[in-house]
């Protein structure tokens, strides 16, 4: 295994100064060195959005949020349903609920000012070890070890770590900490992530362009793609359910808001059954209507399971308790979570035929 000292943070920073990604929430290295200060609200918002989501998917959401709610105080004062609708499609809806809780706590308790240190940031809703380190480093240039999937991959290859993930996380974090400099910690944190995202990629890494190619153990051994090693995952179970998509004679849609806790918490969706493994559960219609089974099914994958939903469609007269009829003019399927949008797409033709 190579000595950590052979990989120099300054080599990576020099590379970053030339090749940093242009991202809507980022203050680039040239602007930063000219004295432009990152907006902590933008850094926090982007980091929450980027959890379990790709940069490409987040860009348009970030621009929508910052245009509609340009300050954390604006987000704190917004209506919950508006924020959840704007978040639809990003998934992991607990993040959106914590986003609002955090914005309101920062606004009400901290005067709209985010803490600048890891310990203070971790006291806020939805901010854990990774996110607190990222905000402290990127927004406030505080020395902090930022370790995401890209950084884990870079460290595993650079040091030839054979321990599979997730068992290797503590070792990879310690190796990352050993390289993190006190000079330009914010730029360095983003540089390592950029290196993993653009050069040290999971497949076909561009080792010849890497500023750390000389000390990299995985490159020396000739097979960098095999690292980081990962434990074999158990197959995801399949759950089944039924949803009911109804409209009245005026074209209004029958929708309900899901409970705050649990998957898709607080989001509008179609009434339906629980989601269970094995076979689709028995499902009682939410109200009287001319219900009939629609051919086909919705398939969607969550983090821990696959979901298959059968659909029943029909004309209804009124909404039962706990549901609502949303006027056709106000209904926007893009405000629904992805799995519910898939159900709408499958059912829409039936209502227009």
Residues tagged active-site? 47
Question: Which distant-in-sequence residues (6+ apart) come within 8 Å of 5 by Cβ?
Answer: none
| DSSP H/E element including 268 | strand 268-269
Between the alpha carbon of residue 162 and those of residues 217, 226, 352, the distances in Å are 11, 9, 57
| DSSP H/E element including 323 | strand 323-326
d(CA 223, CA 134): 30
d(CA 229, CA 181): 27
In the numeric block, the tokens 């339906």 are attached to: 272
d(CA 137, CA 151): 15
Closest among 320, 253, 259 to 285, alpha carbons compared: 320
| DSSP H/E element including 326 | strand 323-326
d(CA 249, CA 252): 7
What's phi and psi for 240, nearest 5 deg?
-125, 150
Query: By three-state DSSP, how is residue 212 classified?
Result: coil
Number of neighbours of residue 193 by Cβ within 10 angstroms: 23
Closest among 273, 267, 255, 274 to 320, alpha carbons compared: 255
Between the alpha carbon of residue 275 and those of residues 46, 281, 307, 308, 314, the distances in Å are 32, 8, 8, 9, 21
């Amino acid at each position: 295994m190579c000595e950590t000292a052979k990989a120099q943070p300054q080599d990576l920073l020099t590379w970053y100064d030339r090749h940093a990604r242009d991202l809507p929430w980022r203050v680039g290295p040239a602007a930063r060195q000219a004295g432009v200060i990152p907006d902590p609200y933008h850094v926090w918002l982007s980091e929450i959005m980027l959890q379990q989501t790709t940069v490409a998917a987040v860009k348009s959401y970030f621009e929508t949020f910052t245009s509609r709610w340009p300050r954390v105080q604006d987000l704190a004062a917004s209506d919950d349903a508006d924020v959840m609708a704007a978040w639809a499609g990003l998934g992991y809806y607990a993040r959106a609920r914590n986003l609002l809780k955090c914005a309101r706590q920062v606004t009400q308790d901290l005067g709209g000012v985010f803490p600048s240190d890891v310990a203070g940031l971790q006291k806020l809703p939805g901010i854990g070890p990774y996110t607190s380190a990222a905000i402290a480093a990127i927004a406030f240039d505080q020395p902090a070890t930022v370790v995401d999937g890209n950084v884990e991959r870079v460290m595993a290859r650079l040091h030839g770590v054979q321990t599979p993930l997730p068992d290797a996380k503590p070792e990879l974090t310690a190796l990352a900490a050993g390289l993190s400099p006190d000079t330009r910690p914010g730029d360095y944190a983003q540089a390592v992530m950029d290196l993993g995202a653009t050069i040290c990629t999971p497949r076909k890494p561009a080792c010849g362009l890497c500023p750390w190619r000389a000390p990299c153990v995985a490159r020396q051994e000739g097979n960098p793609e095999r690292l980081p090693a990962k434990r074999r995952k158990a197959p995801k179970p399949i759950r089944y359910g039924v949803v009911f998509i109804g409209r009245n004679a005026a074209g209004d849609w029958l929708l309900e808001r899901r409970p705050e806790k649990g998957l898709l918490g607080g989001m509008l969706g179609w009434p339906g059954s629980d989601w269970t493994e094995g076979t689709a559960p028995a499902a009682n219609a939410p109200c009287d209507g001319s219900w009939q089974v629609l051919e086909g099914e919705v398939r969607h994958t969550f983090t821990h399971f696959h979901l298959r939903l059968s659909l029943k469609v029909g004309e209804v007269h009124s909404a039962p308790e706990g549901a609502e009829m949303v006027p056709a003019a106000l209904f926007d399927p893009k405000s629904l979570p992805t799995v519910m949008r898939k159900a709408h797409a499958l059912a829409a033709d039936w209502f227009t035929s």
